[in-house]
Structure 1
Amino acid sequence: MMSHLPLRIAASLLTLGVVLHPAAGHGQTAATAGGATHLPHISVRSAGTGSPVLLIPGLSSPAAVWDASVAQLAPHHRVITVQVNGFAGDAPGANLSPGILAGVVADLHGYLAAQKLAGVPVVGHSMGGLLAMQFALAHPGDVGRIMIVDSLPFYGRLFGPTMTPAMIEPRAKMMREAMAARYGKPADPAATAALANQMALKPESRAKVTAWVGQADARVGAQAMYEDLTTDLTADLPKLRAPVTLVVPYNAMLPQAQVDALYRGAYAGTPTLSVVEIGDAAHFVMLDQPEAFAKALDDFLR
């Protein structure tokens, strides 16, 4: 019944490898520059005042994916947005070496410690959702609660219930090599449009995804994708002390009952889990259904 899910999402990742090419790097190496704090694996910005909330984007996505959420929350919160070095045209920094996900978690911990912040709500989209869980497991005092937006604790689950990281590793390695090989090559407009059409439903959403696609360093995206694919947090879910809100989009191609069964099964071991399902939306649910997502975000922070 769910056989087309892995094919659709795997196709999106493979398409991502075809279309990504690096924009000229313009990241700064100073600790603080241009209003951002620059760390080895991420750059961090904050806006607004009040109780903090941390927003992490997904694979090869810029912090701009959260622009509407920043505008929504900044009047009452200190909104901390993360951008992975090498995405959105930034210089790759330390992300040309393996250990990107662990490096991001370490940088997040260091940043919150320097800011004397603890118990912060964390929102993560896609790979950012996986990072949010890794962050909460590694540094439980840093994370108060988690909102995971269309992400799984183990991506390989989409390829079958018996899949393991060891089983998926050869496929992930091939995908990494194919994606990294696109570094420095021009993007394919047809492939870019195909990816945007899979990842978003509305024309304005697809236009934004299309504009972002070509900005990421393919080498960083390839390694981050490999680490995402080969990471399995399923056995660690019962250790999560932070309550988890899971946002799941569905649409005509991915019916609600189908995605509900998949995601609830994947998160079955989570001690405190609430699920918010948003219809007529694809992977970039915050773009496809901004009002419904804004309500879910308000409810999460309330």
Structure 2
Amino acid sequence: MDITKEKVYKPIRKVKDDKFSIDKIEQYCLILEIGDRDLQVSIIDIKSNRVLILEDYSLNKTADEHQKVQVLKALFDSHHLLMVGFWKEVILCFKTPKYCLAPLSYFSKDNARAILKMNCEVHKDESVGYYKVNSNNSVNIFTYQKEVLKFVRSIYVNSKIKVTHQSGMLVNAVLYNPPFANENELSLYIDRFYLHAAVTNNGKLLYFNSFKIQKFEEYTRYINLICNEFKILKKEGVINLWGYIKKDSSHFNALKKDFPALTMGSRTKKLNFGFKFDEIAEHQYFDVFGNYFNL
């Protein structure tokens, strides 16, 4: 891949609040959420809990971590803020497919890799990270791209960097988003080629899992399995949906037909949004904002 001849990223969405000030960067949190083919950037004022910037990019497919860093470097070098190094906090969130949520009481640093290997295949050359999920007593264990973390650390040498995973941030987003039902409720998040699902009861997490989606019919199949397992009624139950899907789309209408109780989820009330964010549907970027609750 020759990054000097090829545009390796594409901006999908950019929103900037008028209250953003370059002079206040030392009180801002920078969130970077990185997937195989995408990157989301958000900046939040820690003092006011106000979301100031949200950006979404598609990235070219890469063969390895070295190429991913090249793509990120091309984007960062051309960005007016990402090379600034004085953020109050930086959160780097990975969207890797290998992860698990383990009870805090069963976790120790020495057995992190062993616990993850109970849930998925982990190769010797894969880096394994972990952190406590702030919204409940669990530890998120996951694989991450070591070269990407090294690249981010080389830029933000003066900032505190926290490394997280999308799964734990979705748990945060769900558990910091009352009101909660006194029954089993299903929270769904549709990402690019993935379905993430959480079941909660009265603000307690009962279940979380992710499913790779290859055709639309698989959404219905997986949601049916979860509803049957946790006795969630398709017509009268509580089923909320967030993510990359439009409310007036044919896909949403098809899901609504199979699950009449399905409704679009809302943003957390713990963050503040200016009018510039009215152009973004409230059910989008739910996972990105969930990172803020792991400061």
TM-score, shorter chain, exceeding 0.5: no
Larger Rg: 2
Identify which of structures 1 and 2 has the higher relative contact order when contacts are C-alpha pairs closer than 8 Å and 6+ apart. 1
TM-score relative to the length of structure 2: 0.30
Q: TM-score, normalised by structure 1?
A: 0.29
**Structure with the higher fraction of residues in helix conformation:** 1
Whose strand proportion is higher, 1 or 2? 2
